[in-house]
Amino acid sequence: MSAVKSVWQYYAPSREILLLLEVFRRMVNDSIRIGLVNDASSLRKLSLLSYNQLAHYDSPSRYKLCAISRAAGILAARNKSARRGFPTRTPYAVRQQLVSCYGFKVRNGWLEIPVARGKRFSIPLTKHVLEVISQPGVKVRSFTLTRNRLSLCIAREVATVECTSTVGVDRNLRNLTVGNDHQTRHYDLSKCVKIANATVRIVASFTRDDTRIRTGLASMYGQRRTARTGHLLHNATKTIVAIAVQRRTAIVLENIEGIRSLYQKGNGQGRKYRGRMNGWSFGEAQRQIEYKARWVGLPVIRLSRRETRGSSVTCPRCGERLQSDKKLKRKLWCSGCRIVMDRDQVAAVNLARRGRVRFARSRPLIEAQGGAVEAVKGNPTPTVIPGVDAPKLTQPTKS
Ligand SMILES: [Zn+2]
């Protein structure tokens, strides 16, 4: 399995690089225009149409190809949106961004890229970047330049981790709960909520009557907030993936597509509650877990909305619907088992179990290993939830 991720750093551009960035942006926009006029969005068609028309640009020809490829990507994204019925505007590249997979070299800790015929520009790579790209098996596929950042796309071949069990990751406002039948673990993220609240308060306190300045300041604080919460999330997701690899458990996530529509104006929720729920970086947590897992070859199972229905209110022991009580904060009561359970733990355990059912169906060959017997044969009979897990076990097994 091939895994891809990127690593970035800042750099100081030269005048030539800035010029090249602008030329690249214009070439992309030219190709987009040509593609729109001729209704062409495939790379092949677009390069046949626009390569000759880019002849007057003073740039290495490999960048022309990359510009066309980028334009094709932008056009394809637009077509996709149009197919799905989203309104689209005429695409136009505003930000300067140069992507290329040709002609660069990493030599003695420098990245060398061609800027004009016979001329190269060298960027000193930071210690961190060098460390990442010199790991065994890592290949640099392409580089991306903006006005102050260099990003390297790197790839490597990884063997898939043979998993014997699953672990569910339940995302909540104040924590990530990771667990399965054996144990659960909380990753406290209440600090993210605090940071978000502080940012909202600060931005709301700006009273200057000039939207441009207010927007500028708000975006500054927004970036700060993203950086701080991102850091906290990175710490948690890194540990989650590392532990999952160690225990050979595939990660099960709830697909949270469309979660924003749950908290929209007119849904009968308070403004503050909506703001809090929409301020949560559900997608970011998922993105981090998925790319980190992919990089080490750990399988990730995404459960659809239907598969996760009721996962936080169903008793993992008997399948009874759990009762909530104002007095029990984030705790639930099962009238069948007569015990109080933690809401987040219940969700994580249920996710792990439902994911395991799917996992067992798709890869029945790992039975030989210890824990898998339990998972594959549906051996933990006391824990199968009637009406939820059982029907899925009976579905035909694909091999
Ligand atoms: Zn129960």
Check whether residue 209 and residue 65 sit in a common domain: no
CA distances from 84 to 40, 80, 99, 256, 357 (A): 19, 6, 27, 19, 32
| Of the candidates 179, 158, 320, 188, the residue with the CA atom closest to the CA atom of residue 251 | 179
At 131 the pLDDT is 94
CA 360 to chain centre: 25
At 260 the pLDDT is 67
Cα(382) to centroid(ligand 1), Å: 11
Render each residue's pLDDT in the chain as its tens digit; 399 residues: 889 999 999 999 999 999 999 999 999 999 999 999 998 888 899 989 988 889 888 888 889 999 999 999 999 999 999 998 888 889 999 999 999 988 899 999 999 998 887 888 999 999 999 999 999 899 999 999 999 999 999 999 999 988 888 999 988 888 899 998 888 899 998 898 899 889 989 988 988 888 888 888 899 999 999 999 999 999 999 999 999 999 999 999 987 766 667 777 777 777 777 777 776 777 888 889 999 999 999 999 988 888 888 888 888 888 888 887 777 777 888 888 888 888 888 889 998 988 888 777 765 544 433 333 333 333 333 333 333 333 333 333 343
Calpha distance 59→117 (Å, rounded): 8
Q: Is 341 helix (H, G, I), strand (E, B) or coil?
A: strand
Check whether residue 74 and residue 185 sit in a common domain: no
| CB-CB contact of 324 with 332 (8 Å) | yes
Cα(337) to centroid(ligand 1), Å: 4
Calpha distance 7→150 (Å, rounded): 9
Check whether residue 180 and residue 205 sit in a common domain: yes
Cα(150) to centroid(ligand 1), Å: 54
Cα(328) to centroid(ligand 1), Å: 17
At 37 the pLDDT is 92
Cα(352) to centroid(ligand 1), Å: 17
pTM of the model: 0.76
Check whether residue 139 and residue 176 sit in a common domain: no
Residue 398 covered by a domain: no
Check whether residue 204 and residue 56 sit in a common domain: no
Calpha distance 142→126 (Å, rounded): 17
Cα(331) to centroid(ligand 1), Å: 13
Check whether residue 127 and residue 230 sit in a common domain: no
Cα(338) to centroid(ligand 1), Å: 7
In which region does residue 107 sit, left (phi positive, over 0), alpha (psi from -120 to 50) or beta (all else)?
beta
Residue recorded with tokens 């030539």: 16
Which of 138, 157, 176 is where one domain is finished?
157
At 72 the pLDDT is 93
Residue recorded with tokens 């540990």: 239
Cα(315) to centroid(ligand 1), Å: 5
Q: Is 248 helix (H, G, I), strand (E, B) or coil?
A: coil
| Of the candidates 244, 261, 254, 105, the residue with the CA atom closest to the CA atom of residue 179 | 244
Cα(296) to centroid(ligand 1), Å: 37
Cα(354) to centroid(ligand 1), Å: 17
Q: Which two tokens stand for residue 48?
A: 């046949």
Which of 110, 125, 157 is where one domain is finished?
157
Q: Is 107 helix (H, G, I), strand (E, B) or coil?
A: strand
Cα(385) to centroid(ligand 1), Å: 10
Domain that includes residue 136, residue range: 2-157
At 363 the pLDDT is 59
Cα(388) to centroid(ligand 1), Å: 14
Which of 123, 157, 191 is where one domain is finished?
157
Cα(333) to centroid(ligand 1), Å: 8
Residue recorded with tokens 């979660």: 259
Cα(342) to centroid(ligand 1), Å: 12
